[in-house]
Amino acid sequence: MKLSWKHPATPAIAAAAAIVMTALPLTASGASASETSEPGSSASGSSTADSPDSKGTSDPSSEERAAGQALLADKSARKPAAPASSSEGGWNDYDCKPSKEHPRPVVLVHGTGGNAVSNWLGLAPYLKKRGYCVFSLDYGQYNGVPLLYGLGPMEDSAAQLGTFVDKVLEASDTNKVDIVGHSQGGMMPRYYMKFLGGADKVNALVGIAPSNHGTTLSGLTKLVDLLPPLGDVIDGLAPSLMQQKRGSEFMARLNEGGDTLPGVKYTVIATKYDEIVTPYKSQFLEGPDVNNVVLQDLCPADISEHLAIGLFDKLAFHETANALDPANAEPTTCSS
């Protein structure tokens, strides 16, 4: 269906799309451009110095340019090297080798609209401080949209995750990782494990508010049923959104034949106040080696919703650490 602003249905569809997009977990809305470049790499694009508008009116001689370059080279040689991935709080350090206490690297997978930095400013340093080798990736960029990732088809995102896991395994000289994901990032790795051979490379999957069986988005997905063109609009903006709708073809294929795979340990950490992945119990998995946790069962005073549970909830962080190291798990309480 082609829409123009002269079409009588267009204003209503656009308004509904805005409502849905506003309600989604776009966690990177406040991220800077430097946060969205590949962790450990410089930001893309040419610098201001390369712009024609930035050139001065004078044209220095070749001798002056050579002298200036020599001076810059000398200063660079004497300047101490910046610590690896300092902008990410010390994670994404490919020189990190897992310890005997924590023998597997941890791969963090952001949610819809997040990125490798913005989603993990709380949890990554938390795990790094406890001695883990921690890595995170950007995946699912779509139509060149900056800052916001996790928008593209999840089949493609799962393949990108697989490439990243292989990179981490090679750098850390290990044969398995543990994966921790928020929202889409807690569910999409299951596709990687089920259809792309990832199960043999994953020891544990920890999903924080994962969209394991899709979402009703607190009832807002009914708008798509009432206004089918709205689904086309949303799918054109971000295919992963429609794939996470409860009852989608993607969800049916992912969960057909059971939620889990042999050899992988699963933990789901949910909050009763989740307004994005609803109903919250749809996040739970069924099968062996599954632990479904509700934060309010551990601390009734916890009021975290969908974003807070992944971004800064210390109880969720503590449960994550327990899932990664069950042999040394400690009870999670309101004071954890």
Taken in order of first residue, the domains within the chain and their CATH numbers are 83-327 (3.40.50.1820)
DSSP 8-state assignment for residue 9: T
> Residues near 70 by Cβ (< 8 Å), separated by ≥ 6?
none
pLDDT at residue 13 greater than cutoff 50: no
* Amino acid (1-letter code) at residue 143: N
User: Is the pLDDT assigned to residue 63 strictly greater than 80?
Assistant: no
At residue 90, the pLDDT reads 84
What confidence category does residue 45 fall into, taking pLDDT thresholds of 50, 70 and 90? very low
Q: Name the DSSP class of 135.
A: E
Please give the backbone phi and psi of residue 57, each rounded to the nearest 5 degrees, phi first.
-80, -25
The SS3 of residue 153 is: coil
Beginning with the edge strand found earlier in the chain, give each strand of the sheet holding 265-270 in spatial order. 134-137, 106-109, 177-182, 202-208, 265-270, 290-294
Q: Across the strands, what pairs with 295?
A: none
With H, G, I as helix, E, B as strand and everything else as coil, classify residue 266: strand
**pLDDT confidence band for 193 (50 / 70 / 90):** very high
Q: At what angle do helices 154-172 and 184-195 cross, to 10 degrees?
A: 80
pTM here is 0.77
CA–CA separation, 308 and 275 (whole Å)? 11
